[in-house]
């Protein structure tokens, strides 16, 4: 493990923010989450809607203690030097021990449509993370990889003491080979959402295999997890709010489809209905009718507050160390209030 900090393990809870609400609303929500004792905020970089780094700068400027992570940036459009530079800048804004760097392998067809060939994703991720870790440790890096080449490179920090950055590097992996690799060399694994607790058991096996290969144990790898949480006192309303997201992901993102545990027949039917990425809103609404309630319950924490808490406990019991809740309900503060004191 690098010289970066290790987070306390236990009853941590985080919030996951995407692009459904305005940035102004998200900034206010982050401040409220910190006031209520929420531990972490992870900012998505989904599709081509918002980048993850810019909002984190805004959150860092108006908060004091809550931890802030990229959930996730990709290793194809930013090279390792730029990633390390961005994380170092965020630490300068936020202070030490607050920034977390989550990196993912991106997804097709989006990557292919902007000219990125993701062949060799495992090696590319390893090279990117290794160099990013070294740069954040303020090392001078020369690296001759297949995807990453650096010669006499280091962070040129002018302000401050120039010591190692306190930024752990997480891999946002879904496939089991990527998780094995994560267990071998990364500081943490940001587990994905729209999977079942049964998926987590297999994911932990992969992480442990990789950890043992790297002379480590599973306990050396922090394991936050994105969890879709659609909460409402009206259970049916909560389920419908989650159904739209499930439809979109099952029909457009192959890595989620494969890991979800949903039948291939249903995935194929949803994909045919919405027509791939980018999907028309009307087609998504049509596809929603194909998603039964049991699939919503299988892949998300949806329903009444108690139903949501119970489902989150299932993820915790199968290896998640910090649920990062993606609030789909109309009242995001209700979800924060319900989880502010933990979930165990």
**Token duo for residue 83:** 């990633």
DSSP 219: G
Render pLDDT for 141-172 as a digit per residue (tens, 0 to 9).
Answer: 999 999 999 999 999 988 877 899 999 999 99
Determine the pLDDT at residue 7: 36
Nearest Cα residue to 172 out of 143, 195, 197: 195
pLDDT for residue 8 is more than 70: no
Q: Which domain holds residue 13?
A: 3-233+304-339
pLDDT for 142 equals: 98
Whether residue 75 lies inside any domain: the answer is: yes
Residues 262 and 313 in one domain: no
Give which of 1, 7, 253, 225 is closest to 111, Cα–Cα: 253
Strands 149-153 and 141-144 turn out to be antiparallel
> Encoding tokens for residue 338?
């319900």
CB 311 within 8 A of CB 297: yes
**Is residue 193 a part of any domain in this protein?**
yes
Structural domain total, the chain: 2
Q: Is residue 8 part of a domain?
A: yes
Specify whether the CB–CB gap between 308 and 302 falls below 8 A: yes
pTM: 0.91
pLDDT of residue 344: 64
For 220-250, the pLDDT digits (tens) are 999 999 999 999 999 999 999 999 888 887 7
238 within domain boundaries: yes
Asked, for residue 314, whether it belongs to a domain, the answer is yes
Rounded CA-CA distance 251/254 in Å is 8
Q: Name the residue with higher pLDDT: 18 or 162.
A: 18
Q: How many CA atoms lie within 13 A of 275 on its CB side?
A: 9
Residues 191 and 242 in one domain: no
Q: In this structure, is residue 344 part of a structural domain?
A: no
Average pLDDT over residues 263-275: 82
3-class state of residue 115 by DSSP: coil
CATH number for the domain including 141? 3.20.20.30
Angle of helix 53-62 relative to helix 23-36, nearest 10 degrees, comes to: 50
Looking at the structure, do residues 54 and 10 belong to the same domain, yes or no? yes
Give the Cα separation of 273 and 293 in Å (integer). 19
184 plus 249 within the same structural domain = no
Assign 6 a pLDDT band (cuts: 50, 70, 90).
very low
Residues 138 and 268 in one domain: no
* Whether pLDDT at 44 is above 50: yes
Whether residues 51 and 197 fall in one domain: yes
Residue found by looking up tokens 């390893």 in the block: 126
User: Looking at the structure, do residues 154 and 282 belong to the same domain, yes or no?
Assistant: no
Residue 35 confidence (pLDDT) above 70:
yes
For residues 173 and 72, the answer to whether their CB atoms sit within 8 Å is: no
Q: Is residue 341 classed as helix, strand or coil in its secondary structure?
A: coil
Q: What is the pLDDT of residues 92-145, one digit of tens each?
A: 999 999 999 999 999 888 889 999 999 999 999 999 999 999 999 999 999 999
pLDDT reported for residue 282: 81
Task: Name the residue with higher pLDDT: 47 or 121.
Answer: 121
pLDDT confidence of residue 252: 72
Q: What are phi and psi of 99, to 5 degrees?
A: -95, 140
In a shared domain, residues 183 and 293: no
Residues 328, 209: one domain? Answer: yes
Tell me what pLDDT residue 274 has: 78
Same domain, 308 and 334: yes
Contact 57, 93 (CB under 8 A): yes
223, 240: one domain: no
143 and 77 within one domain: yes
């Amino acid at each position: 493990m690098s010289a970066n900090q290790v987070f306390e393990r236990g009853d941590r809870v985080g919030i996951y923010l995407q692009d459904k609400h305005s940035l102004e609303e998200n900034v206010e929500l982050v401040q409220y989450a910190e006031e209520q004792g929420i531990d972490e905020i992870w900012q998505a970089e989904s599709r081509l809607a918002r980048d993850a780094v810019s909002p984190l700068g805004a959150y860092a400027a108006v908060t004091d203690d809550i931890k802030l992570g990229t959930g996730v940036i990709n290793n194809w459009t930013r090279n390792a030097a730029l990633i390390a530079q961005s994380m170092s800048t965020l630490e300068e804004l936020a202070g030490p021990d607050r920034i977390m760097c989550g990196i993912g392998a991106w997804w097709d067809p989006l990557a292919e449509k902007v000219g990125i060939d993701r062949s060799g994703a495992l090696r590319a991720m390893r090279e990117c993370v290794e160099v990013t870790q070294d740069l954040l440790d303020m090392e001078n890096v020369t690296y001759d990889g297949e995807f990453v080449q650096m010669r006499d490179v280091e962070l040129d920090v002018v302000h401050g003491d120039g010591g190692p950055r306190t930024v752990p590097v997480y891999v946002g992996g879904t496939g089991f080979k990527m998780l094995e690799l994560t267990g071998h060399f990364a500081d943490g694994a940001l587990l994905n959402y729209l999977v079942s607790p049964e998926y987590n058991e297999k994911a932990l096996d992969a992480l442990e295999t990789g950890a043992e290969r790297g002379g480590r144990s599973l306990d050396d790898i922090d394991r936050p997890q994105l969890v879709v949480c659609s909460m409402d006192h009206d259970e049916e309303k909560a389920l419908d709010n989650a159904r739209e997201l499930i439809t979109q992901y099952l029909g457009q993102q192959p890595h989620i489809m494969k890991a979800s545990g949903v039948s291939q027949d249903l995935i194929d039917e949803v994909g045919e209905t919405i027509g791939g990425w980018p999907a028309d809103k009307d087609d998504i609404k049509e596809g929603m009718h194909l998603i039964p309630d049991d699939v919503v319950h299988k892949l998300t924490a949806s329903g009444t507050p108690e139903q949501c808490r119970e489902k989150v406990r299932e993820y915790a019991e199968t290896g998640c160390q910090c649920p990062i809740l993606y609030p789909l309900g109309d009242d995001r503060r209700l979800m924060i209030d319900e989880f502010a004191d933990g979930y165990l």
